[in-house]
Amino acid sequence: MNYRIDAPLIVQGDRTVLLEVNSADYEAARDHLARFAELEKSPEYIHTYRISSLSLWNAAAAGLSAEEIIEGLENFAKYPLPDNVVFEIRDTVARHGRVRLSHDPYDETRLRLMSDEPLLLAELERNRHLKPFLLNRVGPHTLQVPASRRGHVKQALVKAGFPAEDLVGYVIGAPLPFELRETLRDNGRFVVRGYQRDAAEIFWANGSDAGGAGVIVLPCGAGKTIVGMAVMEKIQMHTLILTPSTVAARQWREELIDKTSIPGEMIGEYTGQRKEIRPVTVTTYQIMTHRKRGTKNAERRPLEEQYPHFALFNEGDWGLIIYDEVHLLPAPVFRITAELQARRRLGLTATLVREDEREEDVFSLIGPKKYDVPWHDLERQGWIAPAICYEIRVPLPEAERLDYIMAEQRQKYRVAADNSTKLDILDRLLNYHKGERVLIIGMYLDRLERIAEHYGYPLITGKTKVADREALYERFRTGEVTTLVVSKVANFSIDLPDASVAIQISGTFGSRQEEAQRLGRILRPKSDGRQAFFYSIVTKETVDQDYSANRQRFLTEQGYRYLILYGDEIPAALAHTQQRS
């Protein structure tokens, strides 16, 4: 058996891959794995990845071949690859596109599900997921399915293990001629970056039926909004944009006015406060999923009756629907999206990780991953700020330890998160970063209120009025306010380019997507090239530490290493580490 002692990977027969962090080839091997595998564990020295069917299909949709995957694994593997893994990679990648969906030329109410393999169609005819949607067989290579169930058929095919290549195409929405500006309102120069232009072109695919639906994955701070606008410019049609919050919706509107020739009166806001339907309409997931109360047998009624604002999806002649932060897409919006397959759909996100494990639905209903850039690649190019991540572990005082021991399981995290020792560490970190733009982020509102009152810092929570939030964010941008205390409402789509320090005192249990978003709040490049610092203060030997380990997995996959410190090691350890960086 061949053995290469310096190689960083061990590929195992169960499709798991072990990666040695201390190898000289660690970064190159990690970047290769990130294209087709999912990170499962990331302790200090050995990281565990899993090669899943979905991760391989996303890789295939993005243009990566089975042979490229296998060749990369062979280049980095200590031992020969297991034969079954090589076979499964080839077989799984080959399954992508073996069945195709296209128009039925004789009946616009039906689609054709086709394959060059009659036996494969015969197998799918008997599949329990697909069977409810089958209408007729048309020869040995074709089945008919309802055009109205296009999304449901694609979901069923993913479950059956044969994701379809969707060649049905899209409706032509109402025209919206415009162009991206070269000069901004403040007379600054605006240029779409190379990777942003590449992402838009890959999504558009020259207007062919093979393009027009999919997800662009870019780090927070890398300009996903600009990618969305570049796609809009290529399509030149009425557009509906879904965002996580009213603040995010208004930021989209401001960006469109600043960077495109679309007049402000043609950009509508459809939120709890305004109901404007314009050629470009920006709304929120919250308003779209607002549900009528007190309706009998609500689940049996049409979606538009359960969710009255769903009518917006059909009230505008949309040529494009943009799902901002697509990893947050609520279940009801998945349901309506299954019926919107005739419209082009663009998902934007920093991570495809979903805590509800509905990544398959993103793949089948929004579209596969079309474009992805490793975070560190953009950091090296200067497009996002370099960052150092710390986990600071602190003990639980004896009295609070007793409360923790006696607490019910579901209450243990609350006790650990509220560890009073964290406030001492917070005080030391604030002194260390005095004069910098700082975000203090947490989960529990009463603790955040006490911190804000103690220091006299402004507090932003879900209760804060939208106008007040916008005013505080603007004061932070101008430097009038240098520190904000924020709840999870500030996790998403908030543009605070000068924030350089984030201190997390509690998180949403083990949420990896939240960790990525919180780091993203400080990754926008600084005008003076400053380093960004992300601190997570964790109660050691509790579920707080366990949850923190899970949250770190996504950042580790992107190439960030957490430096573990204990409370008595700062600030000396910080000064030493930062001096080396």
pLDDT in tens, 96-121: 989 999 999 999 999 999 999 999 99
Structure confidence by residue, pLDDT tens digits, 435-480: 898 999 988 899 999 999 999 999 998 888 888 888 998 898 888 9
Which pLDDT does position 245 carry in this prediction? Answer: 86
At residue 67's C-alpha, the angle toward residues 156 and 377, to 5°, is 90
What confidence score (pLDDT) does residue 152 get?
A: 93
Q: Angle CA(191)–CA(196)–CA(201) in degrees, nearest 5? A: 110
pLDDT of residue 301: 65
Q: What are phi and psi of 271, to 5 degrees?
A: -135, -170
| CA atoms of 450 and 434, how far apart (whole Å) | 20
pLDDT at 580 over 50: no
Q: What is the mean pLDDT of the chain?
A: 86
* Assigned fold of 379-580: Rossmann fold (3.40.50)
- What is the reported pLDDT for 581? 45
Do 194-289+303-373 and 379-580 come out as alike in CATH topology?
yes
Over its C-alpha atoms, the chain yields an Rg (Å, rounded) of 25
Model pLDDT, residue 345: 95
Instruction: Work out the angle at residue 143's Cα, subtended by the Cα atoms of residues 141 and 145, and round it to the nearest 5 degrees.
Output: 155
Give the pLDDT score at 129: 93
Q: Delimit the domains of the chain by residue range.
A: 9-95, 100-166, 194-289+303-373, 379-580
Which ranges of 492-535 would DSSP assign to H, the alpha helix?
512-520
Q: To 5 degrees, how large is the angle CA 494–CA 476–CA 509? A: 45
Rounded Cα–Cα distance for residues 506 and 315 (Å): 42
Sheet holding 532-539, edge to edge: 459-460, 483-486, 438-441, 501-504, 532-539, 387-394, 562-566
pLDDT tens for each residue of 252-264: 999 999 999 999 9
- How far is residue 201's CA from residue 330's CA, in Å, rounded to a whole number? 28
Compute the distance between CA of residue 5 and CA of residue 23 in angstroms, rounded to an integer: 10
Task: Name which of 21-35, 223-237, 487-501 the model is least confident about.
Answer: 487-501
Per residue, the 3-state secondary structure of 118-166, as one string, reads: HHHHHHHHCCCCCHHHCCCECCCCEEEEEHHHHHHHHHHHHHHCCCCEE
In one-letter notation, the amino acid at residue 110 is: R
Point out the least confidently predicted range of 175-184, 256-265, 485-494. 485-494
Residue 504 pairs in a beta bridge with 441, 536
Tokens, residue 22: 């201390």
Per the rule left: phi > 0, alpha: psi between -120 and 50, beta: everything else, 577 is alpha
SS (H, E, C) 30-69: HHHHCCCCEEEECCCCEEEEECCHHHHHHHHHCCCCHHHH
Average pLDDT over residues 14-28: 92
Q: Identify the band that residue 573 occupies on the pLDDT scale cut at 50, 70 and 90.
A: low
User: CA 367, CA 354: separation in Å to the nearest integer?
Assistant: 15
Nearest to 495 by CA among 342, 329, 324, 301: 324
Residues 26/6, Cβ–Cβ less than 8 Å: no
pLDDT band at residue 316, thresholds of 50, 70 and 90?
A: confident
User: Can you give the pTM of this predicted structure?
Assistant: 0.81
Q: Which two tokens stand for residue 19?
A: 């990666």
Calculate what percentage of the chain has a pLDDT beyond 70: 89
User: What's the rounded mean pLDDT across residues 121-141?
Assistant: 93
Residue 31 to residue 238: CA distance in whole angstroms: 37
Residue 409, C-beta contacts closer than 8 angstroms, at least 6 positions apart? none
Q: What integer pLDDT is reported at residue 355 of this predicted model?
A: 65
Counted residue by residue, the chain has a size of 581
Cβ contact 394:565 at 8 Å: no
Q: Which sign does the torsion angle of CA 241, 245, 251, 254 carry?
A: positive
Are 563 and 393 in contact by the 8 Å Cβ rule? The answer is no
pLDDT band at residue 494 using 50, 70 and 90 as cut-offs: low
Question: How far, in Å, CA of 283 to CA of 279, rounded?
Answer: 13
Mean pLDDT of all residues in 522-550: 81
Confidence of residue 299 (pLDDT cuts 50, 70, 90): low
- Chain-centroid distance of CA 102 in Å reads 29
Dig out the tokens for 405 from the structure: 């021991």
Is 78 within 8 Å of 9 (Cβ atoms)? yes
At residue 143, the pLDDT reads 95
Superfamily of domain 194-289+303-373: P-loop containing nucleotide triphosphate hydrolases (3.40.50.300)
Residues 6+ apart with CB under 8 A from 178: 232, 233, 236, 260, 261, 262
Q: Check whether the bond before 571 is cis (ω within 30° of 0).
A: yes
Look at residue 43 and tell me whether its pLDDT is greater than 80: no
Tokens read off for 187: 């007379």
Q: Is the pLDDT of residue 577 over 60?
A: no
Beta bridge partners of 538: 393
Q: What is the pLDDT of residues 344-370, one digit of tens each?
A: 999 998 877 776 778 888 888 999 988
Strands in 213-217's sheet, in edge-to-edge order, are 267-270, 280-284, 239-243, 320-324, 344-349, 213-217, 369-372
